[in-house]
Amino acid sequence: MHEYDEYSHYEIINRCNFGSKHLINARLFTQTCLQHQPDSTTRDVTPLCLNSTNDDSDQKTEESFKTFPTMLRLINGTLVGCMKYSDLYNELEDNEDSSSTNSHTYEGDIDHSMKKLQHKIPTLTQIARKVARLEKTQLDEKQYIAYEMIACTFLLGLVNDGSDKNTKLGSYLQQTLEIASSTDATNIIKKLKARGGRDQLLMFLTGPAGSGKSTSMKIAQQFCYEFCIAVGIMWSDKTFIFTAYTGSAASLFGGVTISKAAFLNQRKQLSVDDRNEWQDVRIVVIDEVSFMSDTIFKTLDTKLKEIKNRSQPFGGFSIIFAGDFRQLEPIGVNDTELLFSSLSSKHWENCINAVIILDNEHRFKEDPEYGQMLKRMWSGDLTKEDRMRINSRVLGSSGVELPPKFEGK
């Protein structure tokens, strides 16, 4: 080998038949979009790429879409569809998704490219129907209300950030010349709030086991994800973050414990890197909130204020607290530490601004009688027959005591 020979990745690549046509569109990290790189004179890499495509002929048209008014029109498009729950699942045909969007007419002069973009935008009803078709999971009315509240809160956050030049999204959108009228933004905000959206949602989502708490939150996440992907708004694995107070609950949906995510056990001052881990977060889900003590709850409030905004509860983050206070309580605490206790600091009830109690037995569709009995147990209304059934035992084939309903299965 010659002493000046140098072998590298570049040499290997140069030997291959590899050109620019083989490159694929992708995102580099969460803040850099490779679909349309800026030219050499402009180094402003933004976290947003509205309607990016591979067609160079559409690039100039797409640039006009990256505006706050366009985002308002797209958000308005997500609200198209039935307003009554009774109409939600009337039609589940495969072609339903396209029909509802195409039937809507936007105000103003909309060109063909804009119509193509609008066609891609998912609506609230479309996502609910899509899940019903593909996964055979239909939301009941209370689940759908929770779903709409979470999704509309997410969209409202985009509107608020888009109108604020001090945010990452707002600073980018306001670089363009097109300015939305205050009336347009006000009308969209009214529509989102009419469907339950909040500037900061602090929801307690509760109900007995199998009532569908997780399903409501996951479908809301699905909508938020599909909307961001459709319009090119940055989405990361922390935009809609799932956490739980216990590790076992967090592992069920691939999340992390809230203690780890929010540095609840960290005594030293939060670093810049710690705060940056929350810069993309828009919705926080905390499952099994019944295990949290009053002290831990206040610690969470303090930590999130340090991360984002000290003047707002929980730093201004929208949080869905899911759980059931009629299940297990925190270990080794007295009444002053229970969130629901009249002897606690009452920080819990002073912060929560929405409560939804789910009451269906989705997990017990094949054995509704058993589900009804568990529901009566949850509400403290067990009948004498229920108690006899729970207390009775028979031996199964393996010799283990089982309730009568499992005999022979």
* Cβ atoms of 314 and 300 closer than 8 Å: yes
Q: Rounded to an integer, what distance in angstroms lies between the CA atom of residue 128 and that of residue 151?
A: 12
Work out the angle between the directed axes of helices 68-78 and 112-120 (0-180°, nearest 10): 50
Q: Which sequence spans correspond to the domains of the chain?
A: 9-58, 68-363, 366-406
* Cβ atoms of 225 and 240 closer than 8 Å: yes
* Cβ atoms of 192 and 159 closer than 8 Å: yes
What letter represents residue 71's amino acid? M
Highest mean pLDDT among 66-75, 79-88, 105-114, 339-348: 339-348
* Cβ atoms of 359 and 375 closer than 8 Å: yes
Task: Report the DSSP beta bridge partners of residue 240.
Answer: 283
Q: Taking the model in full, what pTM does it have?
A: 0.75
Structure tokens at 401: 């005591």
Q: Rounded to an integer, what distance in angstroms lies between the CA atom of residue 44 and that of residue 402?
A: 65
CA-to-CA dists, residue 308 to 145, 303, 362, 392, 408, angstroms: 28, 9, 38, 54, 57
* Model confidence band, residue 363 (pLDDT cutoffs 50, 70, 90): low
> Element (H or E) spanning 49, and its range?
none
* Model confidence band, residue 12 (pLDDT cutoffs 50, 70, 90): low
Highest mean pLDDT among 148-152, 204-208, 376-380: 148-152
Burial 149-168 (b: 16+ CB within 10 A, else e): bbbbbbbbbbbbbbbeeebb
Average pLDDT, whole number, for the chain? 78
| Whole-number pLDDT of residue 31 | 44
Residue written as token pair 């985002």: 71
| Whole-number pLDDT of residue 391 | 80
| Whole-number pLDDT of residue 322 | 95
| Whole-number pLDDT of residue 115 | 64
Query: How many C-alpha atoms does 244 have within 13 Å on its Cβ side?
Result: 15
Q: Rounded to an integer, what distance in angstroms lies between the CA atom of residue 389 and that of residue 403?
A: 8
What letter represents residue 210's amino acid? G
Q: Which residue has the higher pLDDT, 39 or 288?
A: 288
* Cβ atoms of 323 and 287 closer than 8 Å: yes
pLDDT tens readout for residues 211-255: 889 999 999 999 999 999 888 888 998 999 999 998 888 877 778
pLDDT tens readout for residues 136-170: 889 999 999 999 999 999 999 999 998 888 888 88
**Residue 203, SS3 per DSSP:** strand
| Whole-number pLDDT of residue 361 | 67
Tell me the average pLDDT across 61-70: 64
Q: Which residue has the higher pLDDT, 226 or 111?
A: 226
Tell me what percent of the residues of the chain surpass a pLDDT of 90. Answer: 42
Q: Strand (E) positions, 230-367?
A: 240-244, 256-257, 283-287, 318-322, 354-357
Q: Which residue has the higher pLDDT, 336 or 5?
A: 336
Where is average pLDDT lowest: 107-121, 189-203, 208-222? Answer: 107-121
CA-to-CA dists, residue 29 to 54, 151, 158, 183, 201, angstroms: 20, 25, 21, 36, 28
What letter represents residue 357's amino acid? I
Burial 6-29 (b: 16+ CB within 10 A, else e): eeeeeeeeeeeeeeeeeeeeebee
Q: Is the pLDDT of residue 353 over 80?
A: yes
Tell me the average pLDDT across 13-18: 58
Q: Which residue has the higher pLDDT, 4 or 132?
A: 132
| Whole-number pLDDT of residue 112 | 56
Q: Rounded to an integer, what distance in angstroms lies between the CA atom of residue 322 and that of residue 207?
A: 9
* Model confidence band, residue 25 (pLDDT cutoffs 50, 70, 90): very low
Q: Is the pLDDT of residue 42 over 50?
A: no
Q: Is the pLDDT of residue 283 over 60?
A: yes
Tell me the average pLDDT across 328-334: 84
* Model confidence band, residue 60 (pLDDT cutoffs 50, 70, 90): very low
**Residue 244, SS3 per DSSP:** strand
* Cβ atoms of 88 and 144 closer than 8 Å: yes
Q: Rounded to an integer, what distance in angstroms lies between the CA atom of residue 165 and that of residue 259?
A: 32
Fold adopted by 68-363: Rossmann fold (3.40.50)
| Whole-number pLDDT of residue 406 | 45
| Whole-number pLDDT of residue 223 | 96
Sequence-ordered list of residues with C-beta below 8 angstroms from that of 304, at least 6 positions apart, any chain: 262, 278, 314, 315, 317
Highest mean pLDDT among 32-46, 216-230, 329-343: 216-230
